[in-house]
Amino acid sequence: MTQQIPPTPQGLPQPEPELAGVRNFRDVGGLPTTDGRRVRPGRLFRSGHLAHATETDAQFLNSLGLHTVFDFRNDADHALEGPDVELAGVRNVNIPLSDPADGREFWKMVRDGDLARLRSLLGDGKGEARMAHSYRSIIANRTAEHGRVLRALAADSVPALMHCAAGKDRAGLSIAVTLLALGVEREAIVADYLESNAPHRRYRVRRSGETQETRAPEVAELLAPLFDARAAYLAAAFDTIDERWGGVPSYLTEGLGLSPEALDRLRARLLD
């Protein structure tokens, strides 16, 4: 059940609500920047998908005064989970990003618990390598999408909520890119990202059948790299920025095409 919580004093983020149908929701307000400022509470939120939001969840989300919901899911995600709940007066922007799990056929295999195929795809460290490669690829190849998000935030699209399916990978990277543009310390970005590991935040896999094989500890072990938020994944993303662009400033201007004026507007909207 969602708890309606009054604002807290001194501009601090509200205590986290209990949402019945939305996983991994949180306000990223309060994170520190390298120049001594902080992300303004109530301006930037992250979560898993909103397709299963209850009526009470929707009431809470409507109370946030959102301008835009950025949905980074693709067609396969929408087919599996359904569309987001409609929120009155909120613009929904779908910007599909690559799913580390390769969409519908992969998730069918996960739900069916095909142990032999899972071993071949994820065993012997392949799962961790797959995730790190995916994070690198999204940073390197999705500059147009991330640039679009940051320009929208700088123009008018706040308060904003960013989500994908679980709110961990695609949304996690988009939040990380936004926080880098705001000058948030990398350690703080990683700490926020790792909060997705809390049991009540994790994505729920709906299995098509429960058998002894699908419940086997080996299945959980093989799938763990996909469902974990691991600092090494975000480190791979940061390394890609440093290796390809020589650091965050060049990544923002050359990679994402952001002007100094756009960055100033972004920081004015999202920082205290």
Residues that are catalytic:
164
- Rg of the chain (C-alpha set): 18
| Residue 69 to residue 171: CA distance in whole angstroms | 11
Single out the residue of 252, 61, 54 nearest to residue 159, CA to CA.
61
State whether the Cα torsion 185-23-40-7 is positive or negative. Answer: negative
Single out the residue of 137, 135, 147 nearest to residue 173, CA to CA.
135
Q: Which residues pair with 161 in a beta bridge?
A: 45, 69
Whether residue 260 is preceded by a cis peptide bond, meaning omega within 30 degrees of 0, is no
Residue 66 contacts by C-beta under 8 Å, 6 or more apart in sequence?
A: 45, 87, 90, 159, 160, 161
